[in-house]
Copies of this chain bind each other. A is one copy, B any other.
Amino acid sequence: MPRNLKDHILQTASELFYRHGIKATGIDTIVKASGIAKMSLYKYYPSKDALVLAYLQTSADCMRNRILTGINDKNFNPQEKILAIFAVFDEMVASPDFRGCPFINAAVEYADVDGPIQQAAADFYREFCHLLTDLARQAGYSEPEELSTQLSILLAGATTREQIHKGSGAMRSAYKVAETLLKINSAEKALTVSGKTPLNRVEINKF
């Protein structure tokens, strides 16, 4: 059912790369699974590395979409948006197909290569932290970069833990910690600015 051959190849390859790992997925496996000819694959993707890069690209697009949809659909304030990101991640790890973060996995598989694949993985991570920092800044926190680092650590750690022990509920634990951090930093910031503790407006409570 390939509406577009190039996309069909990429989609099949992406599923296999994510499920079994990149190095464990050979070209012949992709060719057989997608039911296309090997020459067609090499026509659209001149090498396996090119295909892997495209896979990481679409993974980044997909992730970005899910996150932005999750935080922009309802009219959340910045603080609520941050917590909504944890809800998006909780959905992700709950999927039966979940097998960790594609970027971290790729970075691990291409250990010593300081090439485009490592770069792509690091780039997405950087972009993601940037989003968190922006939200923290918009929410008015005094140390947005430190806070976003802490939040990204929680997300990466819970993702990893769910990868090793599926269904451990790690993302919900991470959510609780994030809630705490937002409350505390919010209070600190308010104290330094206005001298009194603001209301706690974090009441999404998806969990």
Query: Which A residues fall within an 8 A CB radius of B?
Result: 19-21, 23-24, 99-100, 103-105, 107-112, 121-122, 125-126, 146, 149-150, 152-158, 160-161, 163-165, 168-170, 173-174, 176-177, 180-181, 184
Given that A149-B173, A157-B156, A181-B180 are known contacts, is A164 also in contact with B125, CB under 8 Å in the complex? Answer: yes
CB pairs A–B below 8 angstroms (12 shown): A19-B112, A21-B112, A23-B109, A24-B111, A104-B163, A105-B111, A108-B109, A108-B163, A121-B164, A126-B165, A150-B177, A153-B177
Q: B156, A173: Cβ atoms under 8 Å? A: no
Given that A19-B112, A163-B107 are known contacts, is A176 also in contact with B150, CB under 8 Å in the complex? Answer: yes
> Closest approach, in angstroms, between the C-beta of A144 and any C-beta of chain B?
13
8 nearest A-B pairs in the assembled complex, by CB-CB distance: A157-B157, A153-B157, A21-B111, A156-B157, A108-B108, A156-B160, A149-B173, A20-B112
Q: B173, A184: Cβ atoms under 8 Å? A: no
- Majority SS of interface residues in chain A? helix
Identify A164's interface contact among B23, B107, B112, B163, CB under 8 A. B107
Copies in the complex: 2
Nearest residue, chain B, Cβ from A148: B173
A21: chain B residues within 8 A (beta carbon): 108-112
Q: B153, A173: Cβ atoms under 8 Å? A: yes
A109: chain B residues within 8 A (beta carbon): 21, 23, 108-109
Nearest residue, chain B, Cβ from A160: B156
Given that A109-B109, A173-B146, A180-B180 are known contacts, is A104 also in contact with B164, CB under 8 Å in the complex? Answer: yes
A184: chain B residues within 8 A (beta carbon): 180
Q: B104, A165: Cβ atoms under 8 Å? A: no
Identify A152's interface contact among B99, B104, B157, CB under 8 A. B157
Nearest residue, chain B, Cβ from A157: B157
